[in-house]
Structure formats: structure tokens, C-alpha cells
């Protein structure tokens, strides 16, 4: 049996880093972890080939080679996924689809022969059993939330490591919180399920043994959803990291209550974490209450961010505009919060109502839903009717973006962050040679040929004289800023 696994192309989004990756000669930020895990769930004797359209092109020869074409993707990859399916069907191939995009929208894809939805540890064996007995169904779905004890190590043999800026592993699924705009608890449940410490170490050993040295993203919905078990796993990672001389720099997603657990933050330091992505959403209490983000309320969020920064973890943040509680003052409040907190990587997007979420159901009942979401909440589209006048909301959104990503304000925010940040992690994401290349490209693009270079040089000189040990961080964030401005400028043009 020959199986072609295809990962659709991402558009240029906030998190794609398409305009930043050329600085370090990489093609893609992260690999398709889901498909690599699916490969390990399929029979070992099958021949498998993976084409990540973000790293390479799909040829007719690739399609003709396959007996089955497997495709997976996120909602934001919808357009590319449809193109891939159409192309595979033009060659008469049997197409199997799964993953978040298809679990949410499988009825929209008429050309797919078979859907394997929800969690593959449950539904892939059902598919394989029916395939063997020649009684395949059109849809395999299950509400079961399996323990992760049988989740295999991803099949890293299918990718070219040189294409990727970072690799990834998954330790847990699920989140204990109930934000009404989020579909995580629908897909993965409210009770976090974790792999065993031994499984996690086996996966890290697998990355180490294929020669990887650098960044590893732990893709969990909320890494600290179960703090006690996360602590046990961190203790094992610390031991392994010290034994292996810290070959990886780790980063993940967590909730703001991380700031309340010094023991956990210290373990993350020792485990060589250097950053964490946190859903701030809005600095306004009314907005947080309206969307069920109760764990962010009744606290000084700026103070919490700075506590985490002071423990050697950069805080990257998600912010949302379009809540029913937003007012004309919301935009300035968000700008002030982002600048004061020193959250350099501040993804500000418009609220999207995702099918099956509490938000979607509430808006649907109010006859406010306009369409399905695009999956890219920075593309200046809304799929529902907001309370605020739509023109006022878009103008306010543009104001926030134009301010926080303007070189003057963006670089000032880097300095605010570097003042708080205490570098602890040993960073092996890039070799010295690669860092020098990136630095020279940065000097040319941002310090010589780009408008706003005076703010770039102010940042460089401040860092060199005040925080010289953090020069690589200053350069990295300058590169990210270039990417963010490029993506957001194109989105505004296409509006």
C-alpha cells in the first residue's frame, strides 16, 4: 500500500513567519505534526511519502505514485486543501481527509471519499479494520477522548529537517477553561489528558537521535492545564536536558495563572523554556467576563506578564477586538496595555465565531452569523454582525495595528520587554554562523533600505550598550516585526 500524506499551504498569516524565515534560510516555521503522527498510526509495512506544500511542490508523479491520498489541515488552509483534493481526484485517487478543518467542515468537501475525524487514536483503527474487510464507510467519527498512552512517536523520517525553523511535540490535549469563543474544549475536552513522562522523554530522544538541535514547540492547548502532572513531566525533562546538555529550546502555550506558580516557572527555566504564548484577549474586565475568560479577571494582567518575563520567559500574547462590550475607548486601552506590558509578539485579531462554540450558538440564535470563519483573524473580515458599528470597529482595529507595529512603538516595546526579561534558557535555535547571516540581512533590510531605520538603530545601540547579552533577542524581534508589518500591510490592502 502506497500512501501520500499532503499538508496544504498556509497563506501568509501572523504566525506563518513567511517573511521572517528567509533571514535564517528556512522554509517553514513548524512541521505537520498531525500527519507525522498519523503516519505512525498506519501499518508499518505501508510505503509512505509526505509532501508539505509549505516546504515543497506537489508533482503529478507524487500523486500517480499513491494508492491513497491522505490530507489534513487547519481552517486557515481551506483554500489550498480544496485545490489539493481537486487535483488528486483529477487523477482518480481515493482521498482520505481528517484534522481540524475537516472535523469542523466535512460537509463542505464533496469530493473526499473518506473522512477520519476527531482523534486518530480512536478513528484510524476503525478505518483500518474496515479497509481490511473492504467495507469502508464515508465518515469515521467518535466523541471518545482517549488516553494518550497509545499515541506513537511521530514519523520524523518523512520530512527534511533543514526546511524547518523548529520542530514540535505534543504532551497534552484539552483545557480546563471555558472561553466561549474557543473550540478547544469541543475538540479535545475540558479535562487535560497527558502523555506519561516516559513517553515525553521518548519523543525528545527521537528528536535528539535524528540530529535535531534547536527550538521545539510543545503544541499543547494549555501546557499547565493540569499543573501537578505538568510538574512531574517537567522534572523528567529537566533531568534529560541536563544529561544531554540542553539541546532544545522549548516554547509552549499556557494560561496567565502560570504567573502564580513560581515552582512551575522555575522548572520551566531549568527545562530550557524561553517563551510562552498566553491568551490575554482584552485588558478590559467587561470583555473578559462577557467571553467567559474568568481566569484573567480580578488581577493586574500587566504585573502577571512582568512576573513571567522576570522568570526568563518571553510572553507572547493574543488579543481580540469585536466583543459586544467593546467601546470607542477599547482601542486605546489595548494599545496602552500592549506597550506597557512589553508583549512584543502581540497578535491582535478580530473575533471569529467558530461553529459549535458557545459564541457561535449565541450569535446564531440572535441571527448575527454571516458566514463560516476564514481561520485567519488578522484578515480584516468578520463572520458575524458586531454590536459596534462595523466601520468604527475596522477603523479602531487599524489604529491598533498601525500603532503597535509602527517601528517607533514596536521597537520601544522591545526595549520595555528587554528591561524586564532575564535570559536563562540556553538558546541553540541557530548556529553562530546562521546568527551572523541573519544579523547581516537584518542590518541591510531594516537598518539601511527600510523606512523607520532610525528606530532600528536606536534599538540596536540601546541593546549593545545597556543589555548586550540580549542582542540576539533584539535582532530576532526586529525580524519578526518586519514580517508582521508585511503581512498586516497586505491584509489592509486586500480589504
pLDDT tens figures, 110-159: 999 999 999 999 999 999 999 999 999 999 999 999 999 999 999 999 99
> Taking a C-beta distance cutoff of 8 angstroms, is the pair 38, 69 a contact?
no
CATH architecture for segment(s) 165-420: Alpha-Beta Horseshoe (3.80)
pLDDT of residue 435: 62
Residues with Cβ within 8 Å of residue 84, at least 6 apart in sequence: 6, 8, 53, 58, 71
pLDDT of residue 308: 98
CATH architecture for segment(s) 2-12+31-140: 3-Layer(aba) Sandwich (3.40)
**Separation CA 113–CA 67 (nearest Å):** 13
| Strand 114-116 to 248-254 pairing | unpaired
pLDDT of residue 431: 56
Q: Residue 314's closest CA among 258, 275, 277, 256?
A: 275
The tally of CA atoms less than 13 A away on the side-chain side of residue 30 is 18
pLDDT, greater one: 479 or 269: 269
Burial 182-220 (b: 16+ CB within 10 A, else e): bbbbebbbeebbbbbbebbbebbebbeeeebbbbbbbbb
Beta bridge partners of 276: 252, 315
Region 302-315 average pLDDT: 97
Burial 463-488 (b: 16+ CB within 10 A, else e): beeebeebebbbbbbbbbbbbbbebb
pLDDT of residue 5: 98
pLDDT of residue 24: 86
Kindly indicate the confidence band of residue 440, based on its pLDDT and cuts at 50, 70 and 90.
confident
**Between the CA of residue 93 and those of 4, 62, 107, 220, what are the distances in Å?**
10, 11, 20, 34
In 403-452, at which residue ranges do the beta strands (DSSP E only) sit? none
pLDDT of residue 398: 96
Q: Does the pLDDT of residue 488 top 90, yes or no?
A: no
How many residues in total does the chain contain?
Answer: 495
Region 290-312 average pLDDT: 97
Kindly indicate the confidence band of residue 425, based on its pLDDT and cuts at 50, 70 and 90.
confident
pTM of the model as a whole: 0.94
pLDDT tens figures, 204-251: 999 999 999 999 999 999 999 999 999 999 999 999 999 999 999 999
Beta bridge partners of 248: 214
Kindly indicate the confidence band of residue 451, based on its pLDDT and cuts at 50, 70 and 90.
low
pLDDT of residue 441: 75
Mapping DSSP onto H, E and C, the string for 138-202 reads CEECCCCCCCHHHCCCCCHHHCCHHHECEEEECCEECCCCCCCCCCHHHHHCCCCEECCHHHHHH
Region 74-96 average pLDDT: 97
pLDDT of residue 430: 56
Specify the 3-state DSSP secondary structure of 435: helix
| Strand 166-169 to 47-52 pairing | unpaired
**Separation CA 366–CA 220 (nearest Å):** 33
Amino acid at each position: 500500500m502506497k500512501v501520500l500524506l499532503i499538508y496544504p499551504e498556509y497563506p501568509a498569516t501572523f504566525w506563518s513567519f513567511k517573511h521572517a524565515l528567509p533571514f535564517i534560510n528556512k522554509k517553514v516555521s513548524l512541521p505537520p505534526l498531525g500527519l507525522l503522527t498519523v503516519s505512525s498510526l498506519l501499518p508499518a509495512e505501508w510505503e509512505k511519502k509526505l509532501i508539505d506544500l509549505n516546504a515543497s511542490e506537489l508533482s503529478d508523479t507524487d500523486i500517480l505514485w499513491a494508492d491513497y491520498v491522505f490530507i489534513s489541515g487547519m481552517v486557515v488552509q481551506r483554500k489550498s486543501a480544496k485545490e489539493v483534493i481537486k487535483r488528486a481526484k483529477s487523477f482518480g485517487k481515493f482521498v482520505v481527509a481528517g484534522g481540524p478543518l475537516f472535523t469542523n467542515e466535512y460537509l463542505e468537501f464533496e469530493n473526499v471519499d473518506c473522512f477520519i475525524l476527531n482523534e486518530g487514536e480512536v478513528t484510524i483503527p476503525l478505518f483500518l479494520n474496515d479497509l481490511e474487510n473492504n467495507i469502508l464507510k464515508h465518515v469515521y467519527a467518535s466523541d471518545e477522548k482517549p488516553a494518550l498512552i497509545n499515541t506513537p512517536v511521530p514519523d520524523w523520517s518523512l520530512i527534511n529537517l533543514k526546511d524547518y525553523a523548529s520542530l514540535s511535540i505534543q504532551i497534552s490535549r484539552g483545557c480546563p477553561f471555558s472561553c466561549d469563543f474557543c473550540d478547544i474544549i469541543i475538540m479535545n475536552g475540558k479535562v487535560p489528558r497527558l502523555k506519561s513522562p516516559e513517553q515525553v522523554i521518548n519523543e525528545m530522544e527521537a528528536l535528539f537521535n535524528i540530529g535535531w538541535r534547536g527550538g521545539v514547540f510543545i503544541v499543547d492547548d494549555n501546557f499547565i492545564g493540569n499543573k501537578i502532572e505538568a510538574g512531574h513531566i517537567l522534572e523528567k525533562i529537566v533531568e534529560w536536558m541536563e544529561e544531554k546538555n540542553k539541546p532544545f529550546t522549548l516554547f509552549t502555550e499556557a494560561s496567565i495563572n502560570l504567573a502564580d506558580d513560581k515552582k512551575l516557572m522555575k522548572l520551566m527555566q531549568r527545562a530550557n523554556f524561553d517563551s510562552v504564548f498566553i491568551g490575554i484577549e482584552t485588558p478590559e474586565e467587561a470583555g473578559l467576563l462577557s467571553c467567559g475568560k474568568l481566569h484573567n479577571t480580578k488581577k493586574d494582567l500587566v504585573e502577571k506578564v512582568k512576573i513571567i518575563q522576570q522568570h526568563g520567559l518571553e510572553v507572547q500574547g493574543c488579543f481580540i477586538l469585536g466583543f459586544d462590550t467593546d467601546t470607542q475607548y477599547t482601542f486605546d486601552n489595548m494599545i496602552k496595555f500592549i506597550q506597557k506590558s512589553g508583549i512584543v509578539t502581540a497578535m491582535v485579531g478580530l473575533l471569529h465565531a467558530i461553529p459549535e462554540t458557545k459564541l457561535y450558538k449565541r450569535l446564531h440564535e440572535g441571527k448575527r452569523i454571516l458566514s463560516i470563519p476564514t481561520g485567519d483573524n488578522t484578515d480584516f473580515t468578520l463572520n458575524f454582525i458586531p454590536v459596534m458599528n462595523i466601520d468604527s470597529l475596522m477603523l479602531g482595529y487599524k489604529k491598533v495595528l498601525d500603532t503597535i507595529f509602527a517601528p517607533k512603538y514596536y521597537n520601544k516595546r522591545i526595549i520595555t520587554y528587554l528591561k524586564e526579561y532575564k535570559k536563562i534558557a540556553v538558546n541553540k535555535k541557530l548556529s553562530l554562523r546562521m546568527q551572523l547571516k541573519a544579523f547581516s540581512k537584518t542590518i541591510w533590510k531594516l537598518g539601511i533600505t527600510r523606512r523607520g531605520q532610525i528606530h532600528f538603530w536606536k534599538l540596536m545601540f540601546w541593546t549593545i550598550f545597556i543589555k548586550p547579552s540580549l542582542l540576539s533577542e533584539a535582532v530576532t524581534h526586529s525580524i519578526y516585526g518586519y514580517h508582521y508589518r508585511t503581512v498586516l500591510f497586505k491584509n489592509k490592502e486586500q480589504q
